[in-house]
Structure 1
Amino acid sequence: MQIETNHLLTKQLHSIIHDETNRIANLSNASALLFEHLDRINWAGFYLWDDTDNELVLGPFQGKVACIRISNGSGVCGTAFDKAETIVVPDVNEFPGHIVCDAASQSEIVIPLIKDGKKIGVLDIDAPVKNRFTPEDQAMLEEFVSVLIHHI
Structure 2
Amino acid sequence: MSFEKLKNEAQTILGQQNTSVDQRLSELCELLKAEITYYTWVGFYFKNGDKEELKLGPYAGEPTDHIIIPFGKGICGQVAVSNQNFVVPDVKAQDNYIACSIHVKAEIVVPLFKNGENIGQIDIDSNVPDPFTEEDERFLEFINEKVAEIL
Same fold, judged at TM 0.5 (above)? yes
Indicate the larger mover: 50-59 or 99-108. Answer: 50-59
CA distance in 1, matches of 2:118, 2:135: 24
- Corresponding residue of 1:109: 108
1:68 partner amino acid: I
The answer as to whether partners of 1:26 and 1:151 remain within 8 angstroms in 2 is no
Letter in 2 for 1:119: N
Give aligned pairs, total.
Answer: 149
Partner of 1:24: 22
Deviation at 1:19, TM superposition (A): 4.1
2:48 aligns with one of 44, 47, 50: 50
SS at structure 2 position matched to 1:39: coil
Preserved contact between residue 106 and residue 128 of structure 1 (Cα < 8 Å): yes
Q: Quick check: 1:34 aligned with 2:38?
A: no
Cα distance per residue 1:36-78 (max 9 Å; x no partner): 1111222000111102443101111111111111111111111
Q: Which has the higher contact order (CA 8 A, sep 6+)?
A: 1
Which residue pairs with 1:133 in the alignment?
A: 132
Deviation of 1:34 after TM superposition, in Å, equals 0.8
**Match for residue 8 of structure 1?**
5
Contact kept? 2:43, 2:58, Cα under 8 Å: yes
1:98 matched to 2:97? The reply is: yes
For residues 7 and 147 of structure 2, what CA distance do their matches in structure 1 show? 9
Aligned to 1:143: 142
Residues 14 and 146 in structure 2, CA contact (< 8 A), matched pair in contact too: no
Given the two structures, how large is their TM-score scaled by the length of structure 1? 0.91
Q: How high is the TM-score relative to the length of structure 2? A: 0.92
Task: Please provide the CA RMSD for this pair.
Answer: 1.5
After superposing on structure 2, the runs of 4+ consecutive aligned residues of structure 1 that deviate more than 3 Å are none
Equivalent AA in structure 2 for residue 26 of structure 1? R
Per the TM alignment, residue 23 of structure 1 is displaced from its structure 2 partner at its CA by 2.4
Q: Report the 3-state secondary structure (helix = DSSP H, G, I; strand = E; otherwise coil) of the residue aligned with 2:139.
A: helix
Query: 1:94-120: per-residue Cα shift (whole Å, max 9, x none)?
Result: 112100111110000001111011221
Q: Is this contact kept in 2: 1:13–1:148, CA < 8 A?
A: no
- The gaps in structure 2 that reach 5 residues or longer are none
Between the aligned partners of 1:52 and 1:86, the Cα distance in structure 2 is 22
Rounded Cα–Cα distance in structure 1 between residues aligned with 2:137 and 2:148: 16
Letter in 2 for 1:41: Y
